Amino acid sequence: MEVIIRETYDEMSQVAARMISDQLLRKPNSVLGLATGSTPIAVYRELVRLHREEGLDFSQIKTFNLDEYLGLAPTHPQSYRYFMNNHLFDHVNIPRGNIRFPYGHAHAVETFCEWYEAEIERCGGIDIQLLGVGTDGHIAFNEPGSSLGSRTRLKTLTEQTVRDNARFFDDIDQVPRFAITMGVGTILESKKICVLASGMGKADIVAQAIEGPVTASVTASALQLHRDVVVIVDADAACKLARADYYRWVHDQKSRLHQRDG
């Protein structure tokens, strides 16, 4: 697990966007796993800029999003499909047929989840998965206590997650209590994972996820088991990391190595 610490949210977002753009330049038909929420907004904004100003091409990629609220139509302003259209899909040249998304109005949810898993496999697996981390340490909607081998499925949201997401709705009673989500096991099969966290409110859980034990109580901690994870955080989110100086030193040494080799 590589930890990259940047001073500001915008700086960390630029690092993540460049990582994704480098992936697309190496492999134009990459399969991207995408996340929603406030944290990746600046990443998507930078990817849109790279598309418009530098010609970053999205025409051959395929995408799979992590999750979606059960019961919200794609046109609902608080659905995650609406979020992705607003922040990325409507502003780049990705064919709509290349977008895969959990369907919040699925009637046969179990059958849909099986199809979603099969689609990921059919497309060759996810090349790079973008993740955020919840305040209780969840990734996607894999709430505390989720199986670390779980697959795409219907998940009941915790009271903490409902409270955290209430700021996006007019009333907390409007926040859905269920979501379709990729499982931890599904996420861990991605070839590369990029994790984002920003702000003091994430500092404690970032430290637990990176430096604490691997536990289903903090599903983000399962990422310690993955062979290729990059965690990108701002200074506030990194302030509780016991080995922050070491992470900065490692990144500095790698940068020097790349400059020498280049």
CATH number of residue 74's parent domain: 3.40.50.1360
Enter the tokens of residue 204.
């404690």
Number of other residues whose CB lies within 10 A of the CB of residue 248:
15
**28 Cβ partners below 8 Å, 6+ apart?**
57, 59, 60, 61
What confidence score (pLDDT) does residue 255 get? Answer: 80
Average pLDDT over residues 55-69: 98
Domain residues for 246? 2-261
- Please say if 236 is a catalytic residue: no
Give the pLDDT band of residue 221 (cuts 50, 70, 90).
very high
What confidence score (pLDDT) does residue 72 get? Answer: 92
What percentage of the chain carries pLDDT values higher than 90?
88
Query: Which residue is catalytic, options 67, 117, 234, 236?
Result: 67
- Please say if 110 is a catalytic residue: no
What confidence score (pLDDT) does residue 83 get? Answer: 97
Count up the domains in the chain and report the number.
1
**pLDDT per residue over 140-195, tens digit each?**
999 999 999 999 999 999 898 899 889 889 889 999 999 999 999 999 999 999 99
Query: Which residue is catalytic, options 11, 114, 136, 189?
Result: 136
Query: Which residue is catalytic, options 51, 127, 138, 236?
Result: 138
Query: Which residue is catalytic, options 46, 68, 143, 164?
Result: 143
What confidence score (pLDDT) does residue 261 get? Answer: 67
CB 244 within 8 A of CB 24: no
- Please say if 143 is a catalytic residue: yes
**pLDDT per residue over 202-213, tens digit each?**
999 999 999 999
Enter the tokens of residue 135.
């305040």
Q: Is the pLDDT of residue 99 over 90?
A: yes
Distances (CA, A) of 208 to 4, 13, 106, 135, 195: 16, 22, 35, 11, 14
Checking DSSP bridges between strand 99-100 and strand 62-65, what pairing results, if any?
parallel
Enter the tokens of residue 68.
């979606």
What confidence score (pLDDT) does residue 254 get? Answer: 84
**pLDDT per residue over 109-153, tens digit each?**
999 999 999 999 999 999 999 999 999 999 999 999 999 999 999
Provide the 8-state DSSP code for 191: S
What confidence score (pLDDT) does residue 223 get? Answer: 98
Radius of gyration of the chain (CA): 18
**80 Cβ partners below 8 Å, 6+ apart?**
36, 65, 67, 68, 69, 101, 102
Distances (CA, A) of 75 to 35, 104, 106, 161, 240: 18, 11, 15, 22, 39
- Please say if 261 is a catalytic residue: no
pTM metric for this prediction? 0.94
